Amino acid sequence: MKIVQSAFAPGAKTLKGALHVHTTRSDGADSPESVLRLYASKGYDFVALTDHNVYNTKNFAPDTNLLIIPGVERDFDMPDSKNSLVHTFHTVALGRSPERGNRYVHDQRFSFKGTVADQRAVQPLLDEIHGAGNVTFLCHPEWSGTPAREFDQMQGHFGMEIWNSGCALDNDQDTNAAYWDEILGLGKGWHGIAVDDGHTMRQHALGWVAVNADKTIDAVIDALVSGAFYSSCGPEIYGFYVDDGKAVVECSPCLFAGFAFARKPSSLTWDRENAGVTRAEFAIPEGLPYLRAIVKDAQGRRAWTNPIRL
């Protein structure tokens, strides 16, 4: 039986979106209008302005035709964060429409000033967000100083960041799905999300999601939650499926294309001379719980699919 990853269903759309963005509404350097204009100029279809602890639903550049996904970033620090360590659970919340239960409103402020002892103490805060008609993903786990064992009991996230442009450019962290295979290997259905988390113009529009959805808030959220998207810093992925005991990925010309797993070396098809790989195949061994496709282009830019469970 053929299993096609849902981002690549027949007739799939590929809306380009930014899900983690900062502006002068919190600690970003540039105005919401100028940031949105930059994203529009780079061909984005939707943007979530996720400034720290202040909710956004507004399009500050309405003539751009960008869809604004409601959103906010919440910061839940652990006690040792107060002693100059970075040890935190930053969480992006994205909102459905009010008709689908979003109870947060534009400019709503979130005043959680305390600390959380560990991941268990975050759960009631996540439950509250989910109860208010919002979905969540975990941000930049490497930058946050949290290996998988510090967040692997959390419930209700639809995904986690696997690329974060700000952390990548400034810290060389959160560049390639750190800890994701550990989470997937536990059977958790978290999807992998590339974001910018840009605070300055040079950090915006470098990592995005390509979503198979119509251009409405609820359609985009539903597709994100169901995993009908892939993440990219440049390469395009056109297909990822399993058929007759083998996996196939199809992509724009790349240095390599192939597959990643839990507890197993990746399987890659290379073209080191011409970076012209546009397809890779893999014979699936018995007992593999899932696989996901990965590619990297001649400029070193990656793209990642969500997994197919076997």
Residues of this chain that interact with Zn ion (CB under 5 A) are 73, 90, 139, 197
CB of 139 to Zn ion, least distance (A): 5
Q: Please choose, from the candidates 115, 134, 233, 125, the residue with its C-alpha nearest in 3D space to the C-alpha of residue 174.
A: 233
- What distance in Å separates the CA atoms of residue 174 and residue 141, rounded to the nearest whole number? 7
CB of 216 to Zn ion, least distance (A): 25
CB of 40 to Zn ion, least distance (A): 21
Structure tokens at 207: 């990592």
CB of 51 to Zn ion, least distance (A): 8
CB of 199 to Zn ion, least distance (A): 7
Nearer Cβ to Zn ion, position 73 or 142? Answer: 73
Nearer Cβ to Zn ion, position 19 or 67? Answer: 19
Nearer Cβ to Zn ion, position 86 or 288? Answer: 86
Nearer Cβ to Zn ion, position 52 or 188? Answer: 52
Cα distances (Å, whole numbers) of residue 256 to 99, 243, 252, 284, 285: 44, 21, 10, 19, 21
Nearer Cβ to Zn ion, position 30 or 73? Answer: 73
Give the phi and the psi of residue 44 in degrees, each rounded to 5: -75, 150
- What distance in Å separates the CA atoms of residue 230 and residue 191, rounded to the nearest whole number? 9
Beta strands in the chain (DSSP E): 3-4, 15-21, 46-49, 67-68, 71-77, 88-95, 134-138, 157-164, 191-195, 208-211, 229-232, 237-243, 246-254, 256-260, 267-270, 277-283, 290-296, 302-305, 308-309
CB of 100 to Zn ion, least distance (A): 25
Nearer Cβ to Zn ion, position 32 or 307? Answer: 32
Residue at shortest CB range from Zn ion:
90
Nearer Cβ to Zn ion, position 204 or 292? Answer: 204
Sheet containing strand 277-283, edge to edge, reads: 3-4, 237-243, 246-254, 277-283
CB of 92 to Zn ion, least distance (A): 7
CB of 110 to Zn ion, least distance (A): 14
- What distance in Å separates the CA atoms of residue 115 and residue 129, rounded to the nearest whole number? 17
Nearer Cβ to Zn ion, position 5 or 144? Answer: 144
Report the half-sphere exposure of 33 (CA within 13 A, side-chain side): 4
